[in-house]
Amino acid sequence: MDTKKQARLKARAQIIKAMAHPSRLLIIEELAEGERCVCELTDLVGADMSTVSKHLTVMKNAGIVEDDKRGQQVFYKLRCPCIMDFFGCIERVLKARTEY
């Protein structure tokens, strides 16, 4: 396998990994409704703000979300809302799993 393909797979994995956490999925769902500041997401997730901030950094580095600082708040929003299309398939996997 060539290096290029390897790099592409790694890049894809990084993006998918950035979604592979319950809190981050919750954040993604919330951001699908519109932009939110870190404090709102912190309330939503119910973890330490530093923890939420780190989750957001992971997703930002992956290119899933982008931030926008306005005043003392930082607002995050989804960069590619097509991400939401994932969940339909995920639910289908879950359903198939229970039918097993």
Partner DNA sequence: TGGCAGTTTGGTTATATTGCCAAATAAGCA
Partner DNA sequence: TGCTTATTTGGCAATATAACCAAACTGCCA
The dihedrals phi and psi of 88, each to the nearest 5 degrees, come to -60, -45
Selection from a second copy, DNA, none that 89 binds (CB < 5 to 8 A by kind) is a second copy
Residue 56 lies near DNA (rule: CB under 7 A):
yes
End-to-end CA distance of the chain: 35
Q: Please name the amino acid found at residue 77.
A: K
Q: Round to whole Å and give the CA distance between 4 and 32.
A: 32
Footprint on this chain of a second copy (rule: CB under 8 A): 1, 6, 9-13, 15-17, 19-26, 44, 46, 62-64, 79-80, 82-83, 85-94, 96-97, 100
- Within residues 59-98, the interface with DNA by CB under 7 A covers 67, 69, 71-75
Q: Max CA-CA distance within the chain?
A: 52
Instruction: Tell me which residues touch DNA (CB under 7 A).
Output: 17, 20-21, 23, 37-39, 42, 47-51, 53-58, 67, 69, 71-75
